[in-house]
Structure 1
Amino acid sequence: MKAKREEELIQLQGKLERPPIAFHAHHVADLVLDTTDEIVIFTKSVINEGTGYDTSTGIFTAPVGGLYQFSVHTCVYKGMYAYIGIVLEGKVIAADMNYDKDHFTCSAFGAIARVKSGEKVWVKSTVSDSVRKLYQDSHRMITFSGMLVNN
């Protein structure tokens, strides 16, 4: 009886433990958004718990299934536009447009989504041409973050 209870407790503990899954990436090498559906690749990872974010592709692959929260922060040159979307398995789940005629400007947006283990999430340009350009400097960082909220 005691062995059975111990086994049940071990199984319950395994269900309660949530693996630490979180990433925060910044620095975009290619700031020009001249191709529709172009993946925005954030090349520097500040944190990558669970190793789901790939700095070479810009794609987060969920190590475990669950409810995730994602956020994106972008900045654009004055007079330039940025149409950006958060994509889950090819479908845009959140989108933003950023523009100001006279000033550099930044904006942020996010999404909460149920993601299955192995599914992919990324940021992409949803509209493109020669006046689509991101901006970053030491005071304005372009970022992409995500974390497992509940599994």
Structure 2
Amino acid sequence: MDFEPGCGDNNGNLKPEPKPTNSDPTEGGSGGPASPKPRKTVAFTAKLNICDSYPTHRGILKFANILVNEGDGYSTDTGKFTCSLAGLYHFTLYMSTYGRAQCSILKNGQRVVSAYHTNLPNNCCQVASIGSVIELTKGDHVWVNLWGPTRHDIFATEDNDTVFVGFLLR
């Protein structure tokens, strides 16, 4: 009697399923199991300089201290991340603040997410954060933008950091 692969014969014996073959050399070679295609790593973490604390301007907030810049996407000169590999990215801003902070993460000049942090009782320090997953194509730009009419109580010290982080998910 005929039987399907992976099913038992009339005596209860299992026949193993045949191993799939793959003749596409880009997916793991001929006849072997498929291996994932190598993916370029794109990731950055940039910190706010202590001397750039409490900004009074509107516009791009530049993070001058680079901890990681795999793929060289973040520019300390422009304060922008430039996408070199299309995909889904995750961006987060973690900011130390004593009071008012008004900022957004922008993609090509369009607001994606925003934070509006107000004055705190007893002038205590807090960490506020915003983040989002953003689909990017090659050449897209992402940055942190300050908005509002007043001084921003965003700061960095030796003990407290304000950081902008981004990385490729897939």
Bin of the TM-score, shorter chain as denominator length? 0.7 to 0.9
Conserved 8 A contact 1:33-1:82? no
1:88 to 93, 104, 107: 107
Alignment of 1:146 onto 2:166: yes
Unmatched 5+ stretches in structure 1: none
Matches within 5 A, 1:97-112: 97-99=116-118, 100-102=120-122, 103-112=124-133
More strand per residue: 1
Q: For residues 30-61 of structure 1, what are the alpha-carbon distances to aligned partners after superposition, in whole Å with 9 as ceiling and x for unaligned?
A: 3344333x100000110001000011211000
State the Cα distance separating 1:126 from its structure 2 match: 2.3
RMSD between aligned residues: 1.9
Q: What TM-score comes out, normalization by structure 1 length? A: 0.83
Conserved 8 A contact 2:104-2:112? yes
The number of residues matched between the two structures is 139
Q: For residues 59-104 of structure 1, what are the alpha-carbon distances to aligned partners after superposition, in whole Å with 9 as ceiling and x for unaligned?
A: 0001111000000011223xx3001110000011011122314212
Rg larger in structure? 2
More helix per residue: 1
Alignment of 1:61 onto 2:96: no
In the alignment, the residues of structure 1 paired with residue 62 and residue 71 of structure 2 have an alpha-carbon distance, to the nearest angstrom, of: 19
Higher RCO (C-alpha under 8 Å, 6+ residues apart): 1
SS in 2 for 1:16: coil
Alignment of 1:35 onto 2:53: no
